[in-house]
Amino acid sequence: MEIENDYEDEITELLGQVQRTLGARQRAMSPCSLRRTFKRIHILKAILGEEINARVSVNTLPNELVMDVFKHVFSDVDSCTTILFKFDKSTRVQTLPLLRLTHVCRRWRRVALANPILWQRIRLS
């Protein structure tokens, strides 16, 4: 019968669409696809964070001025809290607050690491 064949064709086509849709959904939800999506989101989030940080007023200061601020912070070393690393019972390395400043943002880290004058006063005790 002609009518039954029309329904069979339509049902076959619908089943094909369902299978294609399911296949697409499964590919979209595969671990590999999810990792790629997560990585893209992570990259975009980092870029957005950098853009936001670039617009913060302190980050509009020239690197030279930031360095002057860093030097001022370390001009009175004894009044600053230090972080102690114990390698053994006889040697301790005291890091100056510079270590903390290098963890504020990428720009501050680049500025601090690019200026060896800041790293001349690491004390061993």
Residue 69, pLDDT score: 86
Q: What is the mean pLDDT of residues 31-44?
A: 84
Residue 63, pLDDT score: 92
Q: Are 80 and 74 in contact (CB under 8 A)?
A: yes
pLDDT higher for 65 or 85?
A: 65
Residue 79, pLDDT score: 47
Could you give the CA distance from residue 10 to residue 61 in angstroms, rounded to a whole number?
68
Task: State yes or no: pLDDT of 122 exceeds 50.
Answer: yes
Residue 64, pLDDT score: 92
Tens of pLDDT, residue by residue over 76-119, are: 555 444 455 566 666 555 565 777 888 888 889 999 889 887 77
Burial of 98 (0-12, 13-18, 19+ CB in 10 A): buried
Q: Alpha-carbon dihedral of residues 37, 40, 41, 42, nearest 10 degrees? A: 120
Q: Where residue 73 falls among pLDDT bands split at 50, 70, 90? A: confident
Task: State yes or no: pLDDT of 62 exceeds 90.
Answer: yes
